[in-house]
Structure 1
Amino acid sequence: RYLLYDVNPPEGFNLRRDVYVRVASLLKTLRKSENWVLVLPPWGRLYHWQSPDIFQVRIPWSEFFDIPSLNRNIPVIEYEQFLAESGGPFIEQIYVLQGYAEGWKEGTWEEKIDERLCIDQLMYSKDKHGYYRGWFWGYEETRGLNACCLSVQGSASIVAPILLKNTSAQSVMLDRAENLLHDHYGGKDYWNTRRSMVFAKHLRAVGDEFRKKYLQSTDEADRTQYKEDWTQMKVK
């Protein structure tokens, strides 16, 4: 089964990177029961990216991160691969995550999740065929078959029972995934995911050239040699 996600459009690169860590934790929980794969949400239309001469939508994760490194932590695929594997530009179930309209009761915190009426206007509209149309990372042909809102208050894996028991959809998207909290911030799984988010080789090459040219710094001279398999790197 395929898990997709997106976040609030104005959010920047670092928040999106942090949400990936949260969703990766959810995927690990799901995979204890079923075979799930995370579909990486294409980058684009970020407010902070102000270069009008550069194409800035439908950008794959491989432009920024090393995909084999990500896959050593959880199974991930690019959105284009999802389109090829799933047989078309359809997402069977969209859950839009939101808070609770009533907020916290008496200031006490409890983890909970419920299907509720949407608090804000749904950022999807139905076309004449009954499909849900939306931003979908700039892929205009993508359509959703079903959409509803989930009020959520808790860590990422609180969504797992919904995905495992309440829907049989093969492709499920969690929109506004920034509403989920970390399962175990700073724990082993958290750091494994962060370590797996290795920048792409072509970006590291640019960085290495800058270090060498302007800082007289190299991995060899600084004794900071990097192993391509981050799981093999040990504390000295």
Structure 2
Amino acid sequence: MDAKDRLIVGLDVPTVNDAETVVRELGETVDFYKIGYQLAFAGGLEFARDLAKDGKKIFLDMKLLDIDNTVASAVENIAKMGMTMLTLHAYPKAMRAAVEAARGTDLCLLGVTVLTSMDETDLIDAGYEYDPHTLVLRRAEQARQAGMGGIVCSAEEASAVRKIVGAEMAVVTPGIRPAGADKGDQKRVMTPAEAIRSGASHLVVARPIIRASDRLEAARSILAEIRNAA
């Protein structure tokens, strides 16, 4: 893949106007954007449709989880929106329902394993019996068996996940921080080059670009690092 197909810029901004500014500043340099809860609930879903119509790729980060019929119905409608990627929590029943609903479309379904803001203590507090690494690998195998298009995991787990899911599935890694960048609320992070060398197919980068004084230069720098690491 070209580096432009591997960099996903997270539009983690409060308004559509803010998102439009980011997209305008990045221009043709960036082709792939993530839209999550914050922007989705501020008019971002219509904005996502508009971006898709303009030829941009959209990773809709909704982390779906519900009864099978509800998940399937949501996936069917999201596929009609022209989205490129969609996340759901990597629970086997939900994944199987989503895969069946997306059959025959171009929508790539991604199973979210363990959020990059969570560590072992957080999982224990949430009632899980597994440490993050073990739970990520368990869910990666379940996603592969369900026929999912890819996995979302920390870059720290990308190498081990790649061995489980093989060469064809996407391995999407958030929590990417260039060397020296502030980690923010992320606990399991890597640089772009480290993530690519670990087996990531796509990198989600938000704050290091959208909060940069020169967003275009920040994006170009990360794209160059991706190209050099590939």
TM-score under structure 1 normalisation? 0.32
RCO (CA 8 Å, sep 6+): is it higher in 1 or 2? Answer: 1
More helix by share: 2
TM-score under structure 2 normalisation? 0.33
